[in-house]
Amino acid sequence: MSGGFGSQSVKTQNSVHPLSKPTPVADINSIQQSLVEHFGGIKDPRVERTKKHQLMDILVIAILAIIAGAQGWEDIENYGISKQKWLEEFLALPNGIPSDDTFRRVFEFIDPEALHQCFVRWVETLVTQMAGEIVAIDGKTIRGSYDRSQGKSALHTLSAWASTQRLVLAQIKVEDSSNEITAIPALLELLDLAGCIVTIDAMGTQTEIARKIIDKKADYVLALKANHPTLYNQVKQWFEQAQAQQFEGIDVSYDKRIEKAHHRTEIREVWSVPVLALGDIYQPRLWAGLQSLVIVVRVRHLWNKTTREVQFYLTSLCSDAQLLGRAIRKHWGIENEAHWTLDVTFAEDASRIRSFHSPRNFALLRRLALNALNREQTYKRSLRQKSKRAAMDNDYMIRVLTSCFLDHTLNLDHTLNSSDSFCQA
């Protein structure tokens, strides 16, 4: 890559929300160096005689286009054509903008594991203090990625989400012959979770997964449902009896929250007790580090009905209803702020990209774009509006890139000491 962004300076008064504090903008050398450091090691899958376009050009255009809202190969090509004059300032582009078929073929055969390793190393530079972070783990199916004619099922992935920092930390594919139970330990192995609180839905409530989290020096909050019938029924009956007696004589921690939004009122009540309060529960020693049991009662008042939901949890944390209620509430961030956004803003569920490795690679680039747009904080709008502005305003695209690829000496708020690394390369 040659040239630079520098010829187009950022006009702060136009690019920054008037109520936002301006942040420094990296020069092209910092962005170039970061892009090459993080993605330059990917092996080009093409044979030498077919290389009319440089791999880094293809990768950079794809990243920029997806940040700008591209949903497929033609969108990426159109972004490149529309921005060609600007792109020529910092990309080589020896034969102009690659065609949509070129983008498709390259991402069909780029090694998804290699791309994921690059993604993980990049995210590592974004995270700050991970101790105390609530890391939600959940799966997502990209429904449009199936291919009935080839007998290929839809791609199902498992992601780790840092709830406070609003970042996808890592993602792995759930193999067709497997399920999330076997994939979760592999995902946990990628992360340095020391000091974190890991939350998982009932599918991941397994004794070996609990042990793995404790071995990683983290704590867990695991949903308990009927897939463990003996323990579930015992905990359910005990809490019902304790509630009927208003927890008389029991060391209980209690927290209550009321939230009003979108014409809905939700009341959440949390009770937590030490595991010893239940006496002789079913096989407690199988659950490494188990300290407390939790019941959450959610009552939602809608305009036309009222619903009530009761949920139980196992946790290695001490009995603190306020902390546990916050962790349980934060778990749904992976659904509301990651999966829902990927479907609504990036149209992931509707995507028909399905050949070879392209579904996995494109899905990872969507998560890269999600992280990048979440990191940019000067423009106080929705991610959809941020994406549209990045598509129309080159200066704002530079600001988005600065927020996630800058030299950290430019922004002390996001300085990451090498000792704070959360992910093992």
H helices of 127-224, in order, are 180-190, 207-215
- Positive or negative, the CA dihedral 135, 138, 142, 147 is positive
Cα 294–chain centre separation: 26
Most confident of the ranges 137-141, 149-153, 172-176: 137-141
Instruction: Name the token pair of 188.
Output: 């946990």
CA distance 291 to 319: 7
Q: What is the mean pLDDT of residues 148-158?
A: 87
- Percentage of the chain beyond pLDDT 90 is 76
Q: For residue 168, what are the β-bridge partners?
A: 161
Instruction: Name the token pair of 257.
Output: 């929250």
- Domain 121-339 falls in which CATH fold? Transposase Inhibitor Protein From Tn5; Chain A, domain 1 (3.90.350)
Instruction: Name the token pair of 32.
Output: 């170039």
CA distance 190 to 212: 12
The SS3 call for residue 27 is coil
CA distance 210 to 289: 8
The SS3 call for residue 123 is helix
Q: What is the mean pLDDT of residues 104-127?
A: 95
Q: pLDDT for 328-364, tens place per residue?
A: 999 999 999 999 999 999 999 999 999 999 999 999 9
CA distance 358 to 62: 12
Backbone angles phi, psi at 34, to 5 degrees: -65, -45
Per DSSP bridges, beta strands 197-200 and 134-142 are parallel
Domain boundaries in the chain?
Answer: 5-111+357-411, 121-339
Mean per-residue pLDDT over the chain, rounded? 88
Cα 271–chain centre separation: 29
Other CB atoms within a 10 A radius of the CB of residue 350 amount to 11
Q: For residue 198, what are the β-bridge partners?
A: 135, 220
Q: What is the mean pLDDT of residues 109-121?
A: 96
Cα 45–chain centre separation: 27
CA distance 372 to 60: 14
Q: pLDDT for 225-283, tens place per residue?
A: 999 999 999 999 999 999 999 999 999 999 999 999 878 899 999 999 999 999 889 99
Q: pLDDT for 7-24, tens place per residue?
A: 344 444 344 443 344 555
Q: What is the mean pLDDT of residues 87-99?
A: 94
Q: Is the pLDDT of residue 307 over 50?
A: yes
Other CB atoms within a 10 A radius of the CB of residue 357 amount to 17
Q: pLDDT for 207-222, tens place per residue?
A: 999 999 999 999 999 9
Taking each helix axis from N to C end, the angle separating 100-109 and 73-82, rounded to the nearest 10 degrees, works out to 130
Q: For residue 139, what are the β-bridge partners?
A: 158
What's the full length of the chain, in residues?
425
Q: How far is CA 117 from CA 102, 309, 367, in A?
A: 23, 40, 14
CA distance 135 to 333: 10
Determine the residue type at 227.
Answer: N
